[in-house]
Amino acid sequence: MMHMSCFPRGFFTCIGRDGKVFDELKYVWLQGRQVWMYCRLYRTMDRFHKPEILEAAKAGGTFLRKFARIMGSGGQWKCAFCLTREGKAVKIQRTIFSECFYVMAMDELSRATGDTDMQLEAEQMMEQLIYWVQVDSSGLGRPHLPGDVPTNSMAVPMMLLCLVQQITEGRGQKVAEKYRDLGNWCVQQILQHVQRDGTAVLENVSFDGTELQGCQGRLQNPGHALEAGWFLLQYSTQWGDKELQKTAISKFVEVPYQSGWDKEHGGLFYFLDVDGNCPTQLEWSMKLWWPHCEALVAFLMAYQQTKKPELLDMFSQVYEYTFNHFPDAENGEWFGYLTQEGKVALDFKGGPNCFHHFRSICGSTA
């Protein structure tokens, strides 16, 4: 678990195998995830409903509210990607993901504390995200270059769908209906990534849902597809959409497993090329902790909804690999990065934060 610094709080995220902090930079993705996780534990699990858990979440939330947000171009708020120990911004990404995890943190913290100002902050940032994605992305700071082909990256609608589910959970029908059109849009954007007559999920497609040329267009990320699968399953359950449930299981759970599982060494490949070429990502053959965590959620949720025994078999195979390879038996916690053969490649902790672990171990309701 990440260590909380003394002042001005926030969490250290660069931790060695021995538990020592080797870099004091604080990454906003991980700060937001940690706040979300502590709040979720506090709210949903009796044995973690303790004052010290809530205080850790509140301290992390205070750090985020004070330092993460930065006024960008045109008066729009952006969130930094990386902060110093004291909270000074080091880097801003031209993407939406720091803001996404800020929304998750603030919404969950508002639920744990009853602070409606935090809920309002989450909703305001959510509206900014929707504007960037659906109306005008110039506030992200990316220049429009003549050779740059507009791309639908699956990560964007996936993350927005996750936020729709976060913000609407337990808020009543009125709030659910407010975000229903956005949720439906996210689903349709995700479904565009099913290509090659339903035999592959591609990470990037064109805005009109056609396959892109080159390495970018052929890229597959099995872990991402599996994560999208359980997001779609949750959404199909919320709205009683049986066809979406079938598609989620057959195309986003079963297909990525069949193509992404390493039949020689076990484990899920990080990246693949749909045509069998060597992916250009140098880490393509490595086995990372988070795809396996998300796969556990996807298979168990799919089995829970269908009772198909083959899905439970897939879950069991991923489970055995995960718990036989990633945990550090000597020092505790998990390693995050293994070689193709399943040996530890990078032995630090913290970067592979417990966000994905928590979701996989505590169940799909997380």
Verify that 192 and 246 share a domain, yes or no: yes
pLDDT digits (tens, 9 = 90+) for 243-287: 999 999 999 999 999 999 999 999 999 999 999 999 999 999 999
Q: What are 127-133's contacts with CB under 8 Å, separation 24+?
A: 128/76, 128/77, 128/99, 129/96, 129/99, 129/100, 129/103, 129/160, 129/163, 130/160, 130/182, 132/96, 133/96, 133/160
pLDDT digits (tens, 9 = 90+) for 96-116: 999 999 999 999 999 999 999
Residue 268 lies in a domain: yes
Strand segments (E) across 137-257: 151-153, 194-195, 200-201, 204-206, 219-220
pLDDT computed for residue 6 by the predictor: 45
Give the single-character DSSP code of 172.
-
Residue 75 lies in a domain: yes
User: Would you say 348 and 15 are in contact if contact means Cβ atoms under 8 Å apart?
Assistant: yes
Verify that 27 and 82 share a domain, yes or no: yes
How is residue 276 written in tokens?
A: 């069998």
Verify that 304 and 351 share a domain, yes or no: yes
pLDDT computed for residue 92 by the predictor: 94
Verify that 264 and 338 share a domain, yes or no: yes
Verify that 122 and 190 share a domain, yes or no: no
Neighbours of 216 (CB within 10 A): 15
Q: Which residues pair with 26 in a beta bridge?
A: 83
Residue 128 lies in a domain: yes
Percent of the chain with pLDDT over 90: 84
pLDDT computed for residue 9 by the predictor: 79
Verify that 98 and 172 share a domain, yes or no: no
CATH number at residue 229: 1.50.10.10
For the residues 72-98, what does the mean pLDDT come to? 91
Q: How confident is the model at residue 350 (pLDDT cuts 50, 70, 90)?
A: low
Residue 1 lies in a domain: no
Residue 362 lies in a domain: no
pLDDT exceeds 50 at position 333: yes
Neighbours of 256 (CB within 10 A): 27
Residue 3 lies in a domain: no
For the residues 210-221, what does the mean pLDDT come to? 97
Residue 364 lies in a domain: no
Which of the listed residues 76, 108, 141 is the one where a domain comes to its end?
A: 141
pLDDT digits (tens, 9 = 90+) for 310-329: 999 999 999 999 999 999 99
Q: What is the 3-state composition of the chain as percent helix, strand, coil, each rounded to the nearest 5? A: 55, 15, 30
Verify that 171 and 136 share a domain, yes or no: no
For the residues 282-310, what does the mean pLDDT come to? 96
Cα–Cα distance, 291 to 267 (Å, whole number): 9
User: Would you say 92 and 80 are in contact if contact means Cβ atoms under 8 Å apart?
Assistant: yes
Q: How confident is the model at residue 359 (pLDDT cuts 50, 70, 90)?
A: confident
pLDDT computed for residue 363 by the predictor: 59
Verify that 87 and 179 share a domain, yes or no: no
Which of the listed residues 107, 123, 141 is the one where a domain comes to its end?
A: 141
Verify that 163 and 137 share a domain, yes or no: no
pLDDT digits (tens, 9 = 90+) for 164-182: 999 999 999 999 999 999 9
Which is more confident, 332 or 158? 158
pLDDT computed for residue 353 by the predictor: 66
Verify that 67 and 192 share a domain, yes or no: no
Residue of 356, 355, 365, 357 lying closest to 105 (CA atoms): 355
Q: How confident is the model at residue 366 (pLDDT cuts 50, 70, 90)?
A: very low
Verify that 90 and 188 share a domain, yes or no: no
Which of the listed residues 92, 123, 141 is the one where a domain comes to its end?
A: 141
Verify that 243 and 187 share a domain, yes or no: yes
In the chain, the number of structural domains is 2
Domain that holds residue 239: 151-355
